[in-house]
Amino acid sequence: MRLRAGDTLSIWVNQKERTGEILAVLDDLALVEYSMPKGTSGIRFYHADTHQFYNRVSYLALPSKWVEAIVHQGALEDLIGKPQQLGKGYKLAINICPDMKFVKVDNHGRN
């Protein structure tokens, strides 16, 4: 079964099986977000058809085409966006201008 935004996937992260949510799918890759026990989260790419791990990615290094896909595929509200590198109490902010051109992803969103 090909992965779609909103699906869940069981993944192996930091010596444990975790449930990841598919935030977006582009071409052959799915962007999967997962939670960690202390409230942080991470994202990784998986193959949309085989469900196999492809690569890790940082929230702050996420290409804009993926930010756009998250919004257009309806997963923005599901985004946890709490990477460890932001520090306690911060949440990722995705700033979007009114014409839906994506400005930037930053770490200024305070939780």
Whether 104 shows a pLDDT value over 50: the answer reads: no
- Under the banding of pLDDT at 50, 70 and 90, the label for residue 97 is very low
More confident: 10 or 85: 10
pLDDT tops 90 at residue 20: yes
Q: 102 or 58: which carries more pLDDT confidence?
A: 58
Work out the angle at residue 27's Cα, subtended by the Cα atoms of residues 6 and 107, and round it to the nearest 5 degrees.
60
Note whether 5 and 21 are within 8 A (CB): no
* pLDDT at res. 55: 95
The answer, as to whether pTM is greater than 0.75, is yes
Every domain of the chain and the residues it spans: 8-110
